[in-house]
Amino acid sequence: MKEVWWIRHGQSASNAGLRTRDNRSNPLTALGRLEARRVAGALEREPELIVTSPYVRTLQTAEPALERFPLALHEEWPVHEYTWLADERRRDTTFLEREVYAERHFGLLDPHRVDGEGAESFVQFIGRVEGALERLRARPERYVVVFSHAAFIRAVLWTQFARPTVLDSKAMQQFLRFMESLKIPNASVVRMHLGAGDELFFSPPLTAHLQALQADLVA
């Protein structure tokens, strides 16, 4: 059985409420870098494969793990955030400023809607998620660590819970409700075991490795 650790990036500038230029270049905060070191220390053995998304904050979160395990294979996959908002509306905004766009976009419950250049539809997003799972199943490595994002990790779990056959407005609404019900903290770990066929086991988001972080902040 294949073991996969899904790890959300550490706290980013956007998570801290700061204005960011775009989604891809949004960096870690000082706290996020401390969280990244805690994640690296939580890895119980050397991963055979470390995957990062194309976004800066996941690569920065993975850096301590890559330094600890220099022989691990490192690949970049499209396991990045749900990019539902067009670049022009995302540019130089805060999380709170984007809330009005989120209410409008998701209120339509249109799974095929693309907000504009740089954005993707819900159908396209779930396609990326399912593609990543298929890719993982096909890989020979038995222990893989994936540095990804909250919405992507939630979508991984939702597709396995819901097993949607049609990505219509009802499925999109179910996913949004699932998103609201499951918190994926920064630098948390979801452990997943992939077996043959549809066999799959996974943990809740784990944060025990972050409990002593306050000591690092005081030091």
Burial of 140 (0-12, 13-18, 19+ CB in 10 A): exposed
Residue 54 lies in a domain: yes
Inform me whether the pLDDT recorded for 212 exceeds 80.
no
Residue 72 lies in a domain: yes
CB 20 within 8 A of CB 14: yes
Q: Average the pLDDT over 162-174 and give the result.
A: 96
Residue 216 lies in a domain: no
- pLDDT, one tens digit per residue, over 11-47 is 999 999 999 999 999 999 999 999 999 999 999 999 9
> Cα separation of 178 and 214, whole Å?
30
Helix, strand, or coil here: 141?
Answer: coil
Query: Residue 172: what pLDDT?
Result: 98
Residue 137 lies in a domain: yes
Residue 217 lies in a domain: no
CB 78 within 8 A of CB 152: no
Count of structural domains, the chain? 1
- pLDDT, one tens digit per residue, over 192-208 is 998 776 777 899 999 99
Domain range for 45 is 2-209
Other Cβ atoms within 10 Å of 58 Cβ, number? 28
Beta bridge partners of 157: none
Q: What is the CATH number of the domain that holds 184?
A: 3.40.50.1240
Q: What band does 216 get if pLDDT is binned at 50, 70 and 90?
A: low
